A and B are shown apart, each in its own frame.
Chain A
Amino acid sequence: MYNNVRKQAGMPRPPTNSQPNSFGNALYGTGSGLVGSGLGAYGEKLLGSSSEYVHSNVSRYFSDPQHYFQVNDHYVRNKLKVVLFPFLHKGHWTRTSEPVEGRLSYKPPIYDINAPDLYIPFMAFGTYVVLAGFSLGLQGKFSPEALNWLFIKGLLGWFLQVTLLKVTLLSLGSGEAPLLDVVAYAGYAFTGMCLAVLGSVIWGYSYYFLMPLTCLCMGIFLVRTMKRVLFAEVRSCDSSKLHYLLLCIALAQFPFFLWLGNIC
């Protein structure tokens, strides 16, 4: 339908959304998934009874979220190593793809270390909130309202990071990466931030060298990841603009980390 038309219009590039069938299965197969049933019900209500039309329109904005939670311990450990110390990653950075039902799609995170997942960002965000509350408490400034503000600040920061990445994608390519992919990449920043806050809890001065270190690592990680994502999309050889934008992304990590990581 609409998806196929859009796909044929461009070069081979990462698909905007998963296959409607798997999304449909996730919607109607997940036992009591709030997200699945919520999205399904909302879609049905808005767009009428044609399920194909529902899937293609709803899944245009949200690829199947279940795909991002197919993780296991091994993946989580290795991915944390890649995110926190990207310069140690010896392998390649491209995602492995597999042809599914005639369309190219990427393997789920359980099979591919380079695939983004949503489990780590969620957990990292939660850990950041908890650790920041702990650090506030050790300074004697804890109050539950302060923790609520930290939570909201963190969400806002995540949202800003997502817009930054999305704007970069849009300005260079056609911005076809799935939204949840971008959300996942942005959320990985919280792992570095957790490390910095943990360092500051253990020993106050370690914050001053852990913070630039994690900023740098996150910058490298994002640059390498976005380069892969963009290379799949960029049509003209506008490599200087590409490099400037990537540098911009890496540099923007510093104020971002300073704003969120400075708990005092």
Chain B
Amino acid sequence: MSKQFNVPPVIFPSGPGGDSGGPSSAAQRHPMPPFQPRPAATNPIPFMSFDVGSVAQSASFSAPQLGPTITSANPNFDDEPPLLEELGINTKHIWSKTISILNPLRPNPNLQSDADLSGPFLFFLAFGLFQLLAGKFHFGILLGWATISAVFLYIVFNMLAGRNGGLDLYRCLSLIGYSMLPMVILSALSLFVPQGGPVILVIAAAFVVWSTRVCARLLVEAASWNEHPGLVAYACFLIYTLFSLLVIF
């Protein structure tokens, strides 16, 4: 379904003064009232001003929608990297990180060495969607609580670790987000269990412990500081208990 449109190229005649002397000479020669289109003769405005190579070819104005038919106008379009790669979302990596978290006993810390936020974003979105299925609209709450808990954990961890603490806020948020996976599973499970009963409490306790283990293990490895894991684990425990309250009640 590729139609060929014969679009005549629109060419603005360049004025005698050229670009550099355009505005000032215009002001001298024609004191024009504002908001009136200036005569194109004095100042040809290039439409694709961000694409330096194609100022004159205004056919590029309509080129991107037509695809490869007019390639000379916008030479970089074919060579552009795919969207996900440009955004930095490495889906294979996200998947492998997710799989490693599913192992509650031994998460693989090397995978987490490069932090990214797209996995956590997906997890929070899934968490919010499962909550929505349960009739609770918590997206804003999730955003706020995730931010506050990340800042809290960042402060506590860096203060505890002292000089050896190499944790930055981005990685902290990334680790908290990845360790939310058990919480997402919990919220999915809670759809099938009566709300507020003892069953969901027991299940939630198990999942919170899972999340805490993973998060504490990953934190300690990420910042390469291993001295008081219990103290850091308690902070993670508080955070995940907070999120589990959203699920249980």
Task: State the A residues within 8 Å of B (CB).
Answer: 29-35, 65-66, 68-73, 76, 118-119, 122-123, 126-127, 129-130, 133-134, 136-138, 140, 142, 144, 147-148
B160 near A147 with CB under 8 A, answer no
Asked if B167 and A137 make an inter-chain contact with CB atoms under 8 angstroms apart, the answer reads: no
Q: How many A-B residue pairs have CB under 8 A?
A: 84
- What are 30 A-to-B residue pairs whose CB atoms are below 8 Å? A29-B163, A30-B158, A30-B163, A31-B158, A31-B163, A31-B166, A32-B168, A34-B151, A34-B155, A34-B158, A35-B155, A69-B159, A69-B160, A69-B162, A71-B228, A71-B231, A72-B227, A72-B228, A73-B230, A73-B231, A123-B234, A126-B238, A130-B238, A130-B241, A130-B242, A130-B245, A136-B249, A137-B249, A142-B245, A144-B246
Answer whether residue B154 sits at the interface, using C-beta atoms and an 8 A cutoff. yes
The answer to whether B245 touches A32, judged by C-beta atoms less than 8 angstroms apart, is no
Do A32 and B165 touch across chains, with their CB atoms under 8 A apart?
Answer: yes
Interface of B: prevailing SS: helix
A119-B231, A144-B141 given; A35·B159 CB < 8 A = yes
Give residues of chain B (151-181) contacting chain A, Cβ–Cβ below 8 Å. Answer: 151-152, 154-156, 158-160, 162-169
Count of interface residues, chain B, beta-carbon cutoff 8 Å: 34
Any A CB within 8 A of the CB of B67:
no
B205-221: CB near A (< 8 Å → 1, else 0) gives 00000000000000000
> Which residue in chain B gives the minimum CB-CB distance to A142?
B249
B238–A127 touching, CB < 8 Å? yes
Majority SS at the chain A contact face: helix
Q: Which of A123, A126, A140, A147 has the most CB of B within 10 A?
A: A126
Distance in angstroms between the alpha carbons of A40 and B160 in the assembled complex: 19
- Set of chain B residues within 8 Å of A133, measured between Cβ atoms: 242, 245
